[in-house]
Structure 1
Amino acid sequence: MSKKLMVQETGKWKKKEKAENRRRMERERVRETYANKKEVEVIPATVDIDSIDRPITKVAAYCRVSTLEDAQAGSFERQIQHFREMIENTEGWKNVGIYADEGASGTNMKKRPEFQRMIQDCKDGKIDLIVTKSVSRFARNTRDCLEVVRVLKGLSPPVGVFFEDVNLNTIEAKNEFTLGVMSLVAQGESEAKSAAITWSVIERFKNGVPIISTNNLLGYDKDKFGKLIVVEEEAEVVRYIYNCYLDGQTVKQIAEALTEAHIPTVKGREVWNSGTVRNILKNEKYCGDVIMQKTFTVDCFSHKTVINRGQKPKYRLTDDHEAIVSRKVWDKVQELLKEPRRYGNGKKKPIEKKFRVSKIKNGRLKGFAVIDPRWRQKDVDKFFEWLSKSEERKE
């Protein structure tokens, strides 16, 4: 070994020995301190922190359930009553409001009006602290949750969010990491739940159990068992549209004819447009079939629905229900639609002006009819006659 290398190795050995000596001396000092404890006089506090006058904290609660089911209704009301009592029974807290979104998804904050109103009230200085049950009630999207919390902390004065189930207040800086982990867990739960629901729906489709909404479906309604039934008054309009197109009219001409005849659309509107007529002509349900998964949701956070143009499989159920037009007519119309018409050569057909009523098919007002306040007595009599026949068909 050369002299230069020997010097380097000797230097490394001496540094290592010095470091070891320092560690040994530190351990010995700690041992000696505990072995020879010194007497320390404790001077008690003379000021009671709790007795200091503090400004009243303006506290709001946020409650949410994701569905409008009866079981969730109890949970929703319990959240509201619990936080109302909690705020009112806490010294120094003032209840400035309960913000509650019922039947709202936690994955999208834009669709929660009460949540948005609460955040705006925080920015307006009306709220100092938000209390909520858990991270999953507040948000199930990690990015949105942390973003909102940081916005609230950045206000002057800052606004905190207290998550009751884990006793976590976002005003404390040390809690942000914990909040991030919990948000990820909540997001994972949402993704797993969404995947389970999607799987369930696809299994229904594979087994020939379609999910059909009749809200915007002219010519059909559902009976008490959920099966599609033909509404003859509306079915006549559908047949008129198909026959006119087969005779050479354009969709625009058909729409104009229906508008002139004062035939209401399925939504009760007075004016028809070409797009509505074209959609009726292309809808396979009118020949008795159902194509499932025409659209799909991109993800459970944006809730964006897109048309299925081959990205996902589709499922066709043939002869699922009573047809309004024959399959031969429907197939012929599909062939004609491949070559759109600029000018129609068919004669305008008159449509019989029968008494027609636009009926609400879905939602909380399902079964109610849209009536015209300008009706005369004979119109009212016709309405009840129509209603009676409609109920008989459902039986």
Structure 2
Amino acid sequence: MEKVYYGRVSTKKDEQDSSIVNQKEYFKEKGIKKGYIDRSSGTTIDKRIEFQQLLKDCGLDVRKVKSGTKYKSVVVDGNRKSKIDYIYTKSISRFARNVSECLEIARMLRNKGVYVVFEDINKSTEDESFFLTMGIMATMAESESREKSRSIKMGASMSAKAGVVRSWSAYGYSYNKEENILTAIPEEAEIIKKIFELKLEGFGGRKIANELNSLGYKTRNDKDWLPNVVNRIVKNPIYTGVTTRNRYDTNKLFGNNNHKLKPEDEWILLDNSKVEPIISKEVFDKCQEIRKKATHESSKAGVWKGRGEFAGKIVCGKCNQYYTRNKDTKIRDYGKYERIFFNCSTKKRLGKTTCDGRNISIEEIENLLNIYIGKDKYKRVCGKFLDAMIGTSDKAIKELKDSINKDNKIDIEINENKIKELKEQLGKLLDLYLADKISTDILDSRKIPLEKEIENLEKINNKLSESESEILSKIKNIESLKQQTIDFVKKIPSYIYREDFIENYLMYIVVKENGKLMPITRGDLLIIVLNKMIRGISDESMRYLEEDRFIPLEIKLKI
């Protein structure tokens, strides 16, 4: 029976050396001599060479898979027998970057007959209850994280209304802490004006940066200007004298701690007399129009997707990658036989162990297209769904308008107390399960309704906590998208030919996990996004409509 240990230490050398010695001695006393230790503060698999070697010795491989325009590391079965039986580690945080990744890798190791022992919680993946326990803990932690996020959001909204300035480090401004005001720095303000002037002339971020550098301008840190720095300035509305909230999001439980820029329609903009304007709102708005138009055009150019009419349109519902066209030529008694089919690009490159999405024949696709091609077929399909969505959207708008200026503090408090009670029930269930007083089936049957009720109450509280500006923004987005959808359906021609439908209306054919084909047309997507927006799930909705290139992952995989 082969036992090993895994550790990860900080990047400070003195701390590293001390920690490595301590870990080696600790596990040596337990009779475990072989170990894998990474000297890195980073938690991603890419930076952990020893962890990759550990997985390799366990019969797993780390491979690079293309996700959109970038590559990400995924753990796959290497079809080898493991050399290791048990892995000992101090904690989950040392082993993986979050609970989600930990559970995923631990399950793959368990399938190879390798069990992970976590010293801090005295649990082993050899016991199936580990996964149930961690699943419940993750649910409760995620709930607390959302509640904390909601409270912070409410506080940010209130501070914004009170005129509290937070963007004290913004380039172009000097922050006066005593008076809580941002005053323009003349020299830097001139550069800000220059950036927006160049943007109005149609310059891109790289060209603006080059122009500033050629004129001898430097950043606050005396460095050359970079395109990404310029682009951030062009997108920042603070230079018009407004306070911006809700620009960034962070997920510490199921991701890293990096701040992610939210879609612009989710930003909260409030006029603030404590921020000195450097440019006019008219100039800023014009620059945004130019920027979005440039983004829209560039998204269509320079990306080669192949020559086929379905290139970039058939998507794998398992790995979220495109399908590619293939042709088999076979010799039969009656002559040559050509078979055209499409298969997942991940499956083609890395094999079935990475993705086993099924192959699709050209005949299947043609049968699917026949539903839409011809006289009034596509128009009827879209119109049927549109009629239902108009009534739903009008009802949603009325409810949103009724909620403006309504004091929801009492309702929020009642819901928070209910959530607290439900979490306590979850905790008691977990205690009963760990004490072997209830079975796994009973645990599942009781915890799932509790988790759903917690999630529902949190969604209700999030809606009750929305500020007036957020509600008005939602109403504006729903009305705008509803009108776009109505206009789109009106413009659909009575008769649609095959080539016209593929080029102008068919966006994606999703090969779902169960193997069924799900076509998504422009009309479908408008109606789907409108429905999602009404239900308050609009994270990617408006960004998608602006960029007009990638369908939101939740729509692609979960419909």
Give the TM-score taking structure 1 as reference length.
0.49
Q: If you compute each CA radius of gyration, which structure gives the higher value, 1 or 2?
A: 1
Give the TM-score taking structure 2 as reference length.
0.36
